[in-house]
Structure 1
Amino acid sequence: MKTSITLFLLTISFSLISCNDSKLEKNITMYEETWNQIINDGNIDLINNTNFTEDITLIASPENIVGIDNFKAYYQNFLTGFSDIKFTVVQVFGQEDNIVKHWNFKGNHTGDFFGIPATGKSVDINGVTLVKMKDGKIAKEEDFMDNMIFMQQLGLLPNQENIATINSIYEAFGKGDIPTVLGMMDANIVWNESSSSSYSDGNPYTSPDAVLNGVFKRLGEDNEYFKLENIKLSPLGNNQVLATLNYDGKLKKTGESYKTTVVHLWTLKNGKTTAFQQYLGLGKQ
């Protein structure tokens, strides 16, 4: 009798597990297909009461987005703001009515996005969404992503990694490690010396080799010593870094020492410097 009851309970347990697994699989399939069509196919009208509960809620700050119309209007910003969208569900799993989605969003910011005019920048951002299903419909979502990185990719916030890159360039230059400096330049860098510099005759220098031969080698040939001092870096939007510093040098030809204040404007992409503009203050070079 005891054996029969145990077998009966095991049978019921396996049946419930099988039922729950089937329900979860159905929820995940519905969820993935729905969002694929909404984002990748641009079918915003799939945000309706067939796929979402009437009180669909997006957990947000400072106020949650509640209801189909508000939810739809919120996500319309992504379809209006970006072109060439590619939304990928990297991984999805869950338990009962709870789903966890790891996703990637790529696109070009070519339209208005929550009031932000088009920047022309490309974004590539990862995130995670916690999902609550109810009766086979999407009932609640909460997104987690690095908004600072997202804003940096749009060029709306300074990228602190750019500061580290430029700082490394100045450190390498100070040590005389020119190969490292050149290695941190994009192959098609556009380098401009100040119009008052004697080295502006080669503007623009459009490769690391051109900068080496047209600027760095001439600095070495013309100066008994040449140092960069009091370097201060300021991150800007648009992947740019502004540097204020002093040149301290001594000309070989005349034996004259000089000091001058200068400004460097750097532009970066993918960890490489793509453009450089020098502005000279009072003094000589």
Structure 2
Amino acid sequence: MATEPQTSEQTSEYVETERRLVEEVFNEGTISVIDEIHTPDYVGHWFLPRGGEAGIPELKEFVAGIHEGFDDFRMDEEFVLADGDMVTLGFRTSGTHAGEFMGIPATDERGESVGIMVHRYEDGKIAEGWAVWDQLGMLQRLGVVPEEFHLSDFLETALTLTKQDVLKRTRRKDRG
């Protein structure tokens, strides 16, 4: 996907929109801003507990869930890089896990995570987004996953179980 050339004024507007996303949506929990800064047909490619892509309703549900699960949730911008119609935002989050979040009961532990979001802009609004963050590290800090757990151990066990025909490899229907 090639990026479309943009003026420095457009790029500045995109950076300002990213900052609104951080401050107004994630930090203040003002869900209505999501409609203002995203296209109606926004598509998000990021982790959902049930899989698939996210639209505006799922994004709103996710942000509301963050604020239900972390009463003092905070997202801080680490960097913003803009190139054409694409913007990358590095972030750091923190908060106390005081309520249920993504099916995990409150632990009353403080959690932190780092990640990035990449957004593609269309007509001045976020049309598509990708996000990754350190979910394993956050779950370890919340005490949900043991500190000594290493993903490589899990993958090694999964590989062994697959070789023993205990686990079966399947393809998701939407991937053919």
Task: Please give the secondary structure, in 1, of the residue aligned with 2:60.
Answer: helix
Q: Deviations over 1:78-130 (max 9, x none)?
A: 11110112210110011111001110001000011122111101011111111
Deviation at 1:32, TM superposition (A): 0.9
Partner of 1:145: 133
Report the AA paired with residue 132 of structure 1.
R
Structure with bigger RCO (C-alpha 8 Å, 6+ apart): 2
In the TM superposition, 1:200-215 aligns within 5 A as none
Partner of 1:10: none
* Structure 2 residues not aligned, in runs of 5+: 150-176
Partner of 1:219: none
Q: What RMSD over aligned residues (CA atoms) do the two structures have, in Å?
A: 1.7
Partner of 1:40: 27
CA distance in 2, matches of 1:35, 1:133: 16
In the TM superposition, 1:155-170 aligns within 5 A as 155-160=143-148
CA distance in 1, matches of 2:22, 2:31: 9
Partner of 1:104: 92
- Pair 1:65-2:51 in alignment: no
- Pair 1:134-2:122 in alignment: yes
**Given the superposition, is the C-alpha separation of residues 96 and 146 from structure 1 closer, same or farther in structure 2, using an over 3 Å criterion?**
same
Contact 1:131/1:140 (CA < 8 Å) preserved in 2? Answer: yes
Report the AA paired with residue 93 of structure 1.
L
- Computing the radius of gyration from Cα coordinates, the structure with the larger value is 1
CA distance in 1, matches of 2:42, 2:80: 20
Deviation at 1:56, TM superposition (A): 1.4
> Among 16, 37, 40, which residue is 1:51 paired with?
37
Higher strand share: 1
**Given the superposition, is the C-alpha separation of residues 24 and 91 from structure 1 closer, same or farther in structure 2, using an over 3 Å criterion?**
same
Q: Deviations over 1:151-177 (max 9, x none)?
A: 11121111128xxxxxxxxxxxxxxxx
> Among 88, 103, 107, which residue is 2:76 paired with?
88
Report the AA paired with residue 74 of structure 1.
F
Task: Please give the secondary structure, in 2, of the residue aligned with 1:83.
Answer: coil
CA distance in 1, matches of 2:26, 2:74: 8
Deviation at 1:144, TM superposition (A): 1.5
Detail structure 1 runs of 4+ shifted over 2 Å in the superposition: none
Task: Please give the secondary structure, in 2, of the residue aligned with 1:84.
Answer: coil
Q: Deviations over 1:20-78 (max 9, x none)?
A: 22211111112212331112112122121x21111212203531112x22221122111
* Percent identity of equivalent pairs: 23
- Pair 1:25-2:16 in alignment: no
**Given the superposition, is the C-alpha separation of residues 145 and 34 from structure 1 closer, same or farther in structure 2, using an over 3 Å criterion?**
closer
Report the AA paired with residue 60 of structure 1.
W
Partner of 1:75: 63
CA distance in 1, matches of 2:109, 2:43: 30
Contact 2:29/2:63 (CA < 8 Å) preserved in 1? Answer: no
Contact 2:77/2:90 (CA < 8 Å) preserved in 1? Answer: yes
TM-score of the superposed pair, with normalisation by structure 2: 0.75
Give the count of matched residue pairs. Answer: 142
In the TM superposition, 1:134-283 aligns within 5 A as 134-160=122-148
CA distance in 1, matches of 2:21, 2:117: 15
